[in-house]
Structure 1
Amino acid sequence: MAQNSEDLGNLPSNESVEWVSFEGTDYYTRSFRVEDGTPKALVVIIHGFGEHCDRYQDMARFFVSQGIQVFTFDLKGFGKTGRKGARLGALGKFEDVYKTIGFFIDKNKVEGVPVFVYGHSMGGGIVLNFGAEKELDSGVKGIIASAPALETNPDNHYPGVIMKILHKTAEIFPNIPMTIKLNDTGITSNLEELEKYRKSFYNYDKTTLQTASEMLRRGEECMLIKSKTYPIPVLIVHGTNDQLTMSKGSQTFYDNLPKDLDKELHILESDYHELHFEKDYKDKVYNIYSSWILNRCS
């Protein structure tokens, strides 16, 4: 598929695309600004494995309609950032991703405006881990995780003993290339969006051993350990029968959270991974997210 077949065309005046360099990587970024007055909040969106930030354009525009400003970017190794870089799917260590998120928060925050970080799937696992890092002085008010990769479908990876070997190998040879074939029929029942997903030049299943190891290991660690001392408000949304990331992982994470924490969990009756593209749930989850954010802006 030709690269220019996904050209965004003429963007509205409140939207922009910019390439931003940070620690040797050129990042593809998008901004969605509130034009009338000061925004009520800023949301930073982190996409999932094998996809890219342009897929969150509709969500970002909805947020803007609610007075919420949005910034998003393609992670290192993914989307347009990955296509411009040297190695597809080479995300790096999660600590490096936290630094990148912090950098973009600092670059885009507005004085007096609360910041929230949203992530889907792998991005959900990343932002939940990011929120647990108490030493990060990012000023984040809350975390939103959609179908977070805390517990993934065991059919999509190797048995436990082999996974331990792979984790050790990843420490020594992090850049060994891998291919992770997802069952894309479980992504969404929205056939138009599924076709876009399959055809996109910026969605790909290439990654590295380190990225796969980080995603699986950090998800489990966050679910079982970091959850118990989680420090900031958190919202989680997941489909009951999601076959890519398991809703029971979100339930376990939620059950482990401190009793007095501001927390919310929505397990919705669905077989699909991307509820934000499901015709029966898109408006519902958009409103769950925006209401939760706006209720914490006072």
Structure 2
Amino acid sequence: MATEEGWHTVEDGTKLYTKTWKTEGPAKARLVFVHGFSDHCNTYNSFFPTLASKGIEVYTFDQRGWGRSAQKKSERGHTGPTTRVLDDISSFLRTVIPCPIPLFLMGHSMGGGEVLCYIAQGPADIRKHIRGYLLESPFVDFSPASKPSPITVFFGRLAGKLLPHRQMVNKLDVKLVSRDPAVQKQFDEDELCHDTGTLEGLAGLLDRTGDLASGRIKIGDDAGEGGVTRIWIGHGNKDGITNPLASRALAERIEAKDKEYKSYEGYYHRLHDEPSPEKEVFMDDVANWILARSVESVQVDGAKSKL
């Protein structure tokens, strides 16, 4: 299994750090992955190598304002508004399409909320290439353990409009991230997991969660390849950061025929970073869902084809 690092320049000249996990033999599928808040693409430990070992090549990038893409402290958390976030995802996706093998898009936590928005609002000329979507602990709403008060949310949105570039530290409780002490230590000591957002970025996050949780963002059954939405959502029922009940409610509202919501008993926020053997169960579920849909017949331009 080989990895490749690089940089992708988006339309406004911003450079985003990228990393790819390649398969040893011919790949069966390609996964583009979007990371979460105070996170970056090199924190996923055995997850991406495991997928690559099963024939799924993984393409990732550090989002604007995060990880190695924030090359100065003054750039930390400068994600821009939701339109900018979705445009960055589109720009990266355009580097991997047209794709010779089935293409999937996945997001974790904040990245999961962004992918849900992308399913509903992303450009149709890109979404038509995506065989399926996967969400890990998506940020549809705050967990009750982490939920800010309505007053905090109101003033956060207001401040985001008045002082958009003001940085603000929102420290994640590492004990809610995973039950594995080594993972907790990793996040606590990783300088690239800087917990720093801007008021504009945080306001955008609040708006996305509000729209997702309320049902204002609607996901139909025609958002992917062949005019079909295929979607899988996994969430731990002990997640103290994002709300599994809100994820389940959203899954029930999605109109797609090929959809699955899986609850993981006792799991915390990073399903792929829970203690063994629990994390392996999650990784196998993700890989099996992708591979099962990498050989199915799909409707393309009015005709059936099997890839």
Q: TM-score, normalised by structure 1?
A: 0.89
How many residues are treated as equivalent by the alignment? Answer: 284
Specify the alignment match of 1:6 in structure 2.
none
1:158 counterpart residue number: 148
Deviation digits for residues 142-186 of structure 1 (CA, Å, limit 9, x no counterpart): 111111111113553532244223213313321122111222111
Whether contact under 8 Å (2:134, 2:231) holds in the other structure is yes
CA contact (8 A) 1:114 1:140 kept: yes
Q: Distance in 1 between matches of 2:52 and 2:143?
A: 34
Matches of 1:204 and 1:67, distance apart in 2: 33
Q: Which moved more, 1:189-198 or 1:159-168?
A: 159-168
Query: Within 5 Å, which residues of 2 pair with 1:137-216?
Result: 137-138=125-126, 139-216=129-206
Name which of 95, 99, 103 aligns with 1:107.
95
Aligned to 2:78: 90
> Is contact 1:147–1:238 with CA below 8 Å preserved after alignment?
yes
Map Cα deviations across residues 53-107 of structure 1 (whole Å, 9 max, x no partner): 0012421111111111111111111111123474211111222222222222221
Q: Which structure 2 residues correspond to residues 1-298 of structure 1 after superposition, within 5 A?
A: 14-22=2-10, 23-37=12-26, 39-84=27-72, 86-109=74-97, 111-133=99-121, 135-138=123-126, 139-223=129-213, 224-227=215-218, 229=220, 231=223, 232-258=229-255, 260-279=256-275, 280-298=277-295
Deviations 1:199-252 (A, max 9, x none): 111111111111111112212312312245353211111111211111111111
Which amino acid in structure 2 is aligned with residue 41 of structure 1? A
- TM-score, L = length of structure 2: 0.86
- Is 26-35 or 165-174 further displaced after alignment? 165-174
- Separation in structure 2 between the aligned mates of residue 53 and residue 262 of structure 1, nearest angstrom: 28
Q: Which runs of 5+ in 2 are unaligned?
A: 224-228, 296-307
3-state SS in 2 of match to 1:96? helix
Q: Quick check: which one's helix share is greater?
A: 1
Tell me, which stretches of 5 or more residues in structure 1 are unaligned? 1-11
SS in 1 for 2:125: coil
Secondary structure, aligned partner of 1:143: strand
The one-letter code sitting in structure 2 at the alignment partner of 1:128 is L
Distance 1:53 1:172 in 2: 31
One-letter amino acid of the structure 1 residue matched with residue 22 of structure 2: R
Give SS of 2:249's match: helix
**Contact 2:112–2:138 (8 Å) recurs in 1:** yes
